[in-house]
Structure 1
Amino acid sequence: MKKFYNRQKELDALQAVSGQIAETKGQLSVMVGRRRVGKTRLLNEAFHQGNTRFLYLFISRKSESSLVDEFAEIINSELGVKFFQPQSLRDIIEFLLDYTKQKPLTVIIDEFQDIDIVCPALFSDIQNLWDANKRESMMHLVCCGSLYSMMTKIFKGKDEPLFNRDDRFFKIQPLQPSYLAEVMKDHHQFDAENMLQWWCLSGGIPKYLEWLTRFSAESDDLFEAVISEFSPLIKEGTHRLVEDFGSEHRVYFDILGAISKGNTSRARIENFLDMSVGVHLEKLDEVFDVITKKRPISSKENSRDIRYSISDPFLNFWFRFIHANKSAVEMENYEYIRKYIERDFNVYSGLELESLFTAILVESKQFGKIGGYWDAKGHNEIDIVAINDLDKKILIAEVKRQQKRYSEAKLIEKSHDLLKKLSLKGYDIEYRGFSLDNLTETMKEYI
């Protein structure tokens, strides 16, 4: 997947800031997005293509002195500076701000939030140096990070040294369904069944799409390639999460495993694991941005009727099928895992189809609110409710793998309770059955 998809607005904005930095002087951009979502590739595209002079510094979790040596070497070779021997990360920031008083430069600091692990005092140092120098320095500083809550706290937390120092805040999302379809068409893989498979296995994350395009070229059976000793997907969940979760990663993995098996309320997760998980659920949602809280669309923000889901379809798949069979993974019994997927994937992907149709409606930009509905007893469940208050329209939809299983009469009956609670008089109500049979048409209609 060498072609670069989407992200045009972000590319243009980043290039414009760096292009005008000699006139505007110091500009600070913040970029956040989960791991693998393509932040580094976007920055490369923006600054390589634009022939912008840039420096890329990655905050790896090692000692400050090791990082200082690494960065000094990069500065010496990239900027042609001789005899620069900094003692601290502060010295490096100070040097770069001085250097850019003469020459414009874009400086990218990747995994910026990990400064908190390497040298927490550096946040205050950056604030002091930035405030003192930015009016003279021709530096576009890009602070890039994968932990959304940490990055938001660093730049938006009132008590943080870098509070409101950012000039732009980019949140990089996975590719939307129309771009996923474009990738698949470019590789002659697009049809409704494949689209659902690729959605389950990638969730629109560019790195995974890259892997899937490679696998689909190597084998007719995608799962044969995905579930094998040579597949990077096998260890991907561990690689992506263990470092962030730290010493408690086993508890977090158990909770995510429980959710992936359909235990979506706190009570069911606690029953399944026989332990209290309230604090961990809050962290998975607010700190790690790995799960999403869902409430019935008619309920108030403080309603306790909450269901949890794993935000990323790939991680949901990984916990449901790979992590759940970790003993088989350790024995390299990939055939067993493939049979397990063969048995359960149809039912599992039918549920994931709902998240794909929801993503299509989100991409359409036609609705102000999109959610689901269930009553206090957990009955009368409706898969998708999308509301457009501007045009006074409500879309109420049921999602099935096969269209023949959809009954409009049943959907109308189930909606009585919801419509009473919403009390939206004068709204046009549209009832729809979404399925694999009409996925392609629905995509054309909405996006």
Structure 2
Amino acid sequence: MRFINREEELQILEQEYKKDTSSFVVIYGRRRTGKTTLIEKFIENKEAVYFLATLQNEKLQIESFKNVVSEVLNDDLLKSLTVENWETIFKYIATKVQKKLIIVIDEFQYLAQVNSSIPSIFQSIWDNLLKNKNLMLILCGSLIGLMYKTTLGYTSPLYGRRTAQIKLKPMNFKNFKKFFKSLDNLKLLEFYSVIGGIPRYIEIFDETLDVFENIRRNVLHKNSYLYEEPKFILKEEIKDPITYFSILQVISQGEHKIGKIASKLGMQTQNLTSFIEKLIELDILERKVPITEENPEKSKKGLYFIKDNFFNFWFKYVFPYQNYLETGKYDYVLDKIKSDFHVFESFTFEEIVLEYIYDLDIPFHIYKAGKWWDKDTEIDVVAVGEDSILFGECKYWDSLVGVNVLHQLKEKAKKVDWKKDKRKEYYAVFSKIGFTKELIDLAKKDKSILLFNFQEF
């Protein structure tokens, strides 16, 4: 896998490595985000033990770990020894360490599944054997819920031991672009709308093909890599996926209020809450409120969205049509996708604008940015500063955007009460391909009107 971005994460690891004392780092995040690639890059040219845990018998894993350690330390004596537990190996390591040694246990959550006492065992190992030694321990895992429970949560025996933690997230659009050599922003947006910023998925999509042929080959075909990917990921994290799958399908179809989601599923709202909370914990769902809300946690205007682009695409276009796909009716499903894909990618466009808003030439310092809505009005972009506010409209049209869009935006802005009598207002229009001459001329005269063309991002 090509190594792109992750400079901040590498810097954290290097800082931990350069400490005179020991360090204990937890790396976690959903599958395919490049955690192992990050670790491989970091341990290049360093003395390091890398061990990939599995769900096999614990005794076999102890033996395998012992052999890996003996190879790195070039220690035939250790290799010949019979070792019955983890403590014995780490005690041996502790006596041998002179220069800095990195110990990586990848997919650590599998050890905890094989033996529920593993967090307590590693607590004892850290406290009694490693804490004062010249080494760096890295525990890495992909099952977010289980990694939190075993290493980060308050109830974990390892709680409070870590010296740093890294939650590896999908790439944003800026870094997504770096994976491709020759694509323009419009084609990149098509790809990003489907696969998001997951490095493994990015590698699968072929930039010489259009988005729909990529979807056919890599998502819709029943033997393709991505065909059942969300099923695999969710089934590892949750025991009873049926309700979770139904929630995600309803949200992908456009229902975002918890009451309406519950109604679609024939459930009471209070019975849905625990499922929603679990999906948020797993970083699959997110709750959003209008950006001007003073107390977001208590706001009654919260809406729920699927965070991951591919999950959103899959639950909207693949999951509901698997009966067709299983019988090879790929063209039927692809036609469904083509019929409203432009609308689907327009929502991704709005999210990219919110990502870029902090880097654009806005005439005030932005404190926070997001969307705003009430019962009957929605504003795509609202950015607030100390006493200034920007209202933005995103139009992913194949035609030039004109002054009518600006006028409509100004009308909608009147409904936002934030510092209404003492604020400085700006208006931004974000377009797929450009603006009419009339709107361009108006923006030249009025400095409160800002125009941004996506192809220039």
Unaligned runs of 5+ in 2: 435-450
2:318 aligns with: 322
Asked if structure 1 preserves the Cα contact closer than 8 Å seen for 2:52 and 2:106, the reply is: yes
CA distance in 2, matches of 1:124, 1:224: 47
CA distance in 1, matches of 2:166, 2:359: 18
2:259 aligns with: 267
CA deviation profile, 1:410-434 (whole Å, cap 9, x unmatched): 112112222x1x2266443221222
Asked if structure 1 preserves the Cα contact closer than 8 Å seen for 2:22 and 2:132, the reply is: yes
2:441 aligns with: none
Q: 1:240 is aligned with what amino acid?
A: I
Q: CA deviation at 1:93?
A: 3.9
Q: CA deviation at 1:294?
A: 0.9
CA distance in 1, matches of 2:163, 2:455: 36
Equivalent runs, 1:252-401 vs 2, <5 Å: 252-275=244-267, 276-286=271-281, 288-299=282-293, 300=295, 301-361=297-357, 367-375=366-374, 378-389=375-386, 392-401=387-396
Asked if structure 1 preserves the Cα contact closer than 8 Å seen for 2:430 and 2:453, the reply is: no
CA deviation profile, 1:263-312 (whole Å, cap 9, x unmatched): 111112112221242210111112x1110001122332212222100011
Asked if structure 2 preserves the Cα contact closer than 8 Å seen for 1:64 and 1:89, the reply is: no
Q: CA deviation at 1:65?
A: 2.6
- The answer to whether the aligner puts 1:110 opposite 2:109 as a matched pair is no
Unaligned runs of 5+ in 1: none
Sequence identity, in percent? 27
Q: Which one of 181, 185, 189 corresponds to residue 183 of structure 2?
A: 189
1:85 aligns with: 82
CA distance in 1, matches of 2:421, 2:115: 57
Quick one: structure 1 residues 335 and 274, their matched pair in 2 at CA, closer, same or farther if it must change by over 3 Å?
same
Asked if structure 2 preserves the Cα contact closer than 8 Å seen for 1:219 and 1:225, the reply is: no
Structure 2-normalised TM-score? 0.84
Structure 1-normalised TM-score? 0.86
SS at match of 2:54: coil
2:215 aligns with: 223
CA distance in 2, matches of 1:107, 1:379: 56
2:446 aligns with: none
CA deviation profile, 1:139-186 (whole Å, cap 9, x unmatched): 1111222344554555554443222211122222222222222323x2
Q: CA deviation at 1:60?
A: 2.3
- The answer to whether the aligner puts 1:160 opposite 2:159 as a matched pair is no
Asked if structure 1 preserves the Cα contact closer than 8 Å seen for 2:193 and 2:345, the reply is: yes
CA distance in 1, matches of 2:339, 2:91: 59
Asked if structure 2 preserves the Cα contact closer than 8 Å seen for 1:36 and 1:206, the reply is: yes
CA distance in 2, matches of 1:408, 1:207: 40
Q: Which structure has the larger Rg?
A: 2
Quick one: structure 1 residues 148 and 238, their matched pair in 2 at CA, closer, same or farther if it must change by over 3 Å?
closer
1:13 aligns with: 12
2:23 aligns with: 27
2:407 aligns with: 409
CA distance in 2, matches of 1:307, 1:66: 47
RMSD of aligned residue pairs (Cα, Å) = 2.7
CA deviation profile, 1:86-127 (whole Å, cap 9, x unmatched): 223444444434443x45321111223444322222212222
CA distance in 2, matches of 1:30, 1:207: 21
SS at match of 2:202: helix
Poorly superposed stretches of 4+, deviation over 6 Å: none
Q: 2:289 is aligned with what amino acid?
A: R
Q: What count of residue pairs does the alignment treat as equivalent?
A: 425
CA distance in 2, matches of 1:408, 1:12: 44
| Bigger fraction of residues in helix | 1
Q: 2:405 is aligned with what amino acid?
A: S
Q: 1:323 is aligned with what amino acid?
A: F
